[in-house]
Amino acid sequence: MPVEMEKIVSLCKRRGLIFQNSEIYGGLGSTWDYGPLGVELKRNVKDIWWHSVVREREDMEGLDAAILMHPTTWIASGHVESFTDPLVDCKKCKKRFRADDLKGEFCPECKGELTEMRKFNLMFKTFMGPVEDEGSVVYLRPETAQGIFVNFSNIQRAMRRKLPFGIAQIGKAFRNEITPGNFTFRTREFEQMEIEYFVKPGSDQQWYDYWVKERFDWYVKFGIKPENLRLREHGKDELAHYAKSCHDIEYLFPMGWSELEGIANRTDFDLKQHASHSGKDLHYFDEATKEQYIPYVIEPSAGADRATLAFLIDAYREEDVRGEKRVLLSLHRELAPIKAAVLPLLRNRPEIVAMAKKIAGDLRRHFRAVYDDTGSIGRLYRRQDEIGTPYCVTVDVQSLTDKEVTVRDRDSMEQDRIPIERLKEYLLEKLVS
Ligand code: GAP
């Protein structure tokens, strides 16, 4: 059984992972702030993604495009016309609903009469420059993908790339969702991690299959239990306007199986649209075969917030240890916000405190390490378990003479006695192997 979402929300608040945005003003609907440990966790998620899909590969380039784009981008991409949800209002209580979420003809809250269905565009509109008229409308991007498409030729030429190759980008996206919710699962401001992988038409199915498997395996590699993941193919009626085929990687969230990432075959739709709206030639010239064509695109599109939430939920454990409940986040070591905590067994012994602080300072040069003496050793272990710290290093009275410390493993709770001079190598070996 997946953990209840309330437990995750409460842990996140208690331990400084995620807070309600603008909380002192009563909060702003479905917006969340990542606190000191949450920002480390989410950054680690983005880092392992970037490493896997850009730095460790020879067929990928990175990009960081602007959020605001030329408004014609969104006409070409189809978002102005088609990025809509069917919306109905209740005439009595004024609540809004997605028409496709409703079961009956009346308001599910107050049984009031509903308005006719209308299309509601999910893009946030704003104005560029001092004049607020139709000519100065710009949109907050609803996906990062379009920044990649409009830079395709720039990158292909500047980096002298041959097909197949991909472009990866991490960045904020905004959607005026009608029904946000489930904590950070669906919000109006979120971060995407997207790849557009450009291939020769005809080889698209092979690359599509490749990326579906590659992305599924990535979640398993970094700790998600395979039984909590599944693939779901989109039916023809639910495909986005640009897609020939799409598979969702779904995760068993507390509210049920839900999309974690989508992998779509976007064909040559986007590049053709941008070529036609900009008047620029976006063909690729294949030197080897002397052929000229618009590449097809395979798009693995993930959400950084959704991935972070899934890693958190999957790592959550409650155990019974000698009659006491132990809560821990069994996060993959590369995801853990803090890699090691150095704890003095006796905080009223200045020599022990000094030794522990010195060890934490030395470790900090290599990875995120903290010193903590704000409770008894039992409490300190519990706190580190709850935030997923893989190793706790305890300095005790004996350490002063034998120059050794105790290293406790978060998951097994086994302890090793290690010479201080070997501690860094010992931990690094465990953290990067
Ligand atoms: N470029 C394709 C695209 O944007 P999408 O399925 O709409 O496809 C891709 O979004 C991913 O972005 C989703 O799988 C999800 O992880 C994340 N995402 C989408 N809307 C979101 C929202 N409102 N809140 C949080 N994450 C969201």
Residue 191 Cβ contacting ligand 1 at under 6 Å: no
The residue contributing the CA closest to ligand 1 atom 21 is 186
> Are 262 and 248 contacting, i.e. CB atoms less than 8 angstroms apart?
yes
On the 0-12 / 13-18 / 19+ scale of CB atoms within 10 A, 87 is middle
**Alpha-carbon gap, residue 377 to 375, rounded angstroms:** 6
First to last CA, the chain: 31
Identify which of 123, 192, 249 to mutate to test ligand 1's pocket (most ligand atoms within 8 A of the CB): 192
pLDDT at res. 2: 75
The model's pLDDT over 269-327, given as tens digits with 9 standing for 90+, comes to: 999 999 999 999 999 999 989 999 999 999 999 999 999 999 999 999 999 999 999 99
Query: What are the residues whose beta carbons fall under 8 Å from the beta carbon of 319, sequence distance 6 or more?
Result: 325, 326, 328
| Protein residue with least CA distance to atom 18, ligand 1 | 303
pLDDT tier at 398 (50, 70, 90 boundaries)?
A: very high
Other Cβ atoms less than 10 A from the Cβ of 264: the count is 23
227-281 pLDDT per residue, tens: 999 999 999 998 988 899 999 999 999 999 999 999 999 999 999 999 999 999 9
CA of 192 to the centre of ligand 1 (A): 7
The DSSP H or E segment spanning 38 is helix 36-50
Is 187 near ligand 1, meaning CB less than 6 Å away? yes
Provide mean pLDDT across the span 422-429. Answer: 97
Tell me the per-residue pLDDT of 77-88, one tens digit each, with 9 for 90 and over: 999 999 999 999
Q: Which of the residue ranges 58-72, 95-109, 228-242, 384-398 would you say has the lowest mean pLDDT?
A: 95-109
The predicted pLDDT at position 433 comes to: 66
Q: What is the per-residue pLDDT for 113?
A: 94
pTM of the model: 0.95
119 strand-pairing partners: 86
Nearest to 391 by CA among 359, 348, 351, 421: 359
Mean pLDDT of 403-421: 97
Pairing of strands 60-63, 165-174: parallel
Pocket test for ligand 1, best of 124, 139, 259 (most atoms within 8 A of CB): 259
> What pLDDT does residue 261 have?
98
**Beta carbon of 38 within 6 Å of any ligand 1 atom:** no
Determine the length of the chain: 433
**Distance (Å) of CA 18 to CA 41, 241, 360, 387:** 10, 34, 25, 12
- Whether the CB-CB separation of 249 and 261 falls below 8 Å is answered with yes
- Please report the pLDDT score of residue 293 as a whole number: 97
Instruction: Output the residue whose Cα is nearest ligand 1's atom 16.
Output: 303
pLDDT per residue as tens digits for the range 130-169: 999 888 999 999 999 999 999 999 999 999 999 999 999 9
Cite the DSSP H helix spans in 251-303.
269-278
Confidence of residue 100 (pLDDT cuts 50, 70, 90): confident
Residue 170 CA, ligand 1 centroid: distance in Å: 12
3-state secondary structure of 416: strand
Give, in order, the Cα–Cα distances in Å from 155 to each of 270, 282, 322, 340, 384. Answer: 16, 12, 59, 40, 44
